[in-house]
Chains A and B, each alone.
Chain A
Amino acid sequence: MKVLKEVVEDISQVFGDQVLIEEAAGFTVIKVICPQVLLLMRRLKEIHGFNYLANLTAVDYRDRFELVYHVYAVPENRGLVVKTSVSREEPVVPSVVSVWPAADWQEREVFDLLGISFEGHSNLRRILLPEGFEGHPLRKDFPAER
């Protein structure tokens, strides 16, 4: 997956030590501190043309949650990964719905299954599980069988 060098240079210049950029699993991965997520995403979309949020999900690493965003420029097909970590005690991440409406249901899904809140999401409700369900099944401390 080729990412323009200018993108990487611009992002590291603007965000300095708030980002860590590396190559992993065939992608350029931008790790960003949680409070800067929205600013970074806006810049990726508005300045660098990453207009398509393909995938948004999260992983429970037991000591923290990691949010993973796969963003692309369509149709020219440039892609990169953005990651951010958030504590399990206070899992709140800025919502990116204002950047890509595609985040709407995907953030609701992460909220539903992992219990991560998205600040600025106007309709943060469960989406796959019924209202009133207790717990968040994709957390590692949620037993697979009960």
Chain B
Amino acid sequence: MRVLSAERMVINIGPQHPSTHGGLHAETVLEGELVVDMAVHVGYVHRSFEKIAESRTYSQYIPYTSRLDYLASHLPTLGYVQAVEKLAGIAVPERAEYIRVIMAELSRIASHLLYIGSLAIDLGATTGLIYCFRDRERIMDMFEMTSGQRLIASYMRLGGVAEDLPDEFFPAVKSFLADLPQMLEEYDRLLFGNELFQARLKGVGRLSAQDAIAYGTSGPNLRACGVAYDIRKAEPYGIYERFEFEIPVGTEGDCWDRTMVRVEEIKQSARIIEQALRGLPGGDIRGKVPRVLKVEKGREVYHRIESSKGELGYYIVADGGEKPYRLHIRAPSFVNLMVLPLISKGGLVQDVIANIATLDPVLGEADR
């Protein structure tokens, strides 16, 4: 009988591969189907965002931050304006705070819906994508109503938001929230209840809580390992301490838990939006901000928020001028990708696709 030998082979997954969610390049060493080594390369969509910041005024930089995580663009924008507000001591009116929370949580839902849809198509369940995109579309419509933009909204402003919510926004968001349980049930029947779908995710790409923390993993990927750490709770920013919600956690840290944590987070975000809609006060949507905003020399800030991908931090150093002296973006997608070789080694090549999809990187943010 002939012995089948499995010679080592290098497979380049990406950068031009649909399941890499942008320009991600995983140089994978295989023995047969088994992954024995992997090197991850990023930088394909690097746009010098940190250097550009040094030649833009504080408010001119807002549209750039929208283009970090373009799948949930209100979140990186929110993190940025809050960082500058902290740095310069700008107050935000109550109504704007509530609108920000509504927009941020809608972004989180949109991002997680896209996660489910793209995971489905990555695993070969093409129909799943269509359902999730159909529902995400309603959120995109709401963003269009409020900001005129669907994807990269640049809706946050220093001291508030760009425009007040239009009348048609309220019925749209209410009917979306009312239909959400039904949508999730549909995904359940279509995807999560499917034995094949489960088999592709359960026990695949396991990450321990200890490794997750040591590698700086954050967001749903960290919580899937059983670590109940959410910056909205641990270090509430804006008005998040006013809302009741839970932190969903997993136990196994595998692809399945990373998915289920996000499904639960969608429900929690809906709870927050409902509370914010009930509590939404009247009044101004923008505070007083000097037309020429200068921040005194020696001031610096590190402000972080819980974005849909994890800990999104802005480190800004001021020098007395209208522009940041130095701006650094701590991008969750960048740091989260570091564990990809760790969770892929010892697994099969097709599981790499599931691992990438469930780490949910967005390369615009990773590469900056």
Report which A residues bind B (CB closer than 8 A).
1, 24-25, 27, 51-55, 57, 59-60, 68, 70, 74-75, 77, 81, 100-102, 104-106, 109, 113, 126-130, 137-138, 142, 144
Contacts and interface: CB of A to CB of B under 8 A. Distances in A.
B216 A144 contact: no
A75 B330 contact: no
A57 B304 contact: no
Interface stretch (B148-156, B193-201, B294-302): B294-302
Contact of B313 (A25, A55, A59, A77): A55
A74 B227 contact: yes
Given A60-B326, A75-B228, A128-B43, A137 B338 contact: no
Nearest to A109: B334
A51 B217 CA distance: 12
Contact of B216 (A1, A24, A54, A109): A54
Contacts of A70: 302, 313, 315, 330
Contacts of B337: 105
A86 B59 CA distance: 32
B213 A52 contact: yes
B288 interface: no
Given A100-B214, A102-B216, A105-B335, A137 B48 contact: yes
A100 B328 contact: no
B218 to A, nearest CB: 8
Nearest to B328: A57
Contacts of A105: 334-335, 337-338
Nearest to B335: A102
Given A77-B229, A130-B43, A101 B313 contact: no
Interface of B: 42-43, 46, 48, 50-52, 54-55, 213-216, 218, 222, 227-229, 234-235, 299-302, 304, 311, 313, 315, 317, 325-326, 328, 330, 334-335, 337-338, 367-368
A68 B55 CA distance: 22
A109 to B, nearest CB: 8
5 contacts: A52-B216, A81-B302, A101-B216, A106-B335, A144-B52
A101 B227 contact: no
A137 B315 contact: no
B315 A68 contact: yes
Contacts of A130: 43
A85 B229 CA distance: 32
A128 B368 contact: yes
A55 B302 contact: yes
A101 B214 contact: yes
A128 B329 CA distance: 13
A143 B322 CA distance: 19
A37 B287 CA distance: 42
B311 A54 contact: yes
A51 B317 contact: no
Nearest to B217: A102
B315 A102 contact: no
Contacts of B299: 25
B312 to A, nearest CB: 11
Contacts of A1: 235
Contact of A129 (B46, B304, B325): B46
The residue in A1, A54, A106 that gathers the most chain B C-beta atoms within 10 A of its C-beta is A54
A59 B216 CA distance: 21
Contacts of A27: 302
Contacts of A109: 334
A105 B311 CA distance: 16
B234 A75 contact: yes
Contacts of A57: 315, 328, 330
Contact of A127 (B43, B54, B218, B234): B43
A49 B42 CA distance: 31
A118 to B, nearest CB: 15
A1 B234 CA distance: 10
Given A74-B229, A75-B234, A144-B51, A128 B302 contact: no
**Closest 5 CB pairs between A and B?**
A102-B216, A128-B43, A77-B234, A75-B229, A57-B328
Nearest to A110: B328
Contacts of A142: 51
Interface centre among B43, B367, B368 (most CB of A within 10 A): B43
Contacts of B228: 75
A30 to B, nearest CB: 14
Contacts of B55: 144
A54 B214 contact: no
